[in-house]
Amino acid sequence: MATVEEIRKALRQVKDPEINLSVIDLGLIYDVEIGDEGDVDVRMTLTSPGCPSGPEILADVDRVVRALDGVTDVNVELVWEPYWTPERIDPKVRTFLGY
């Protein structure tokens, strides 16, 4: 069965197509939980409520997690609390971007 670390590593493949950074580097993934039966819950946000790439990003998160060994089901929950800010970006990436 996949671990939380393996799921987070796999989620590096999912990029926000507008800025070409992974959902992990952007700090969009808030929580990953794995149930006893291999069901995975992902709590995440987007950079803004009106993000035009939102549906594509959510579908990519579902697809990437679902493809991992031992994952039986995926629930991607879109949340707005806490609201995303650039401070959530990985510090190394934030420095590179000049934030």
Predicted TM-score (pTM) of the model is 0.94
> Is pLDDT above 80 for 17?
yes
Residue 7 is predicted with a pLDDT of 98
The topology under which CATH files domain 4-94 is GMP Synthetase; Chain A, domain 3 (3.30.300)
What tokens appear for 40 in the block? 């995975």
On average, the pLDDT of the chain sits at 95
Residue 99 is predicted with a pLDDT of 76
Q: Report domain extents, the chain.
A: 4-94
Q: What is the mean pLDDT of residues 60-72?
A: 97
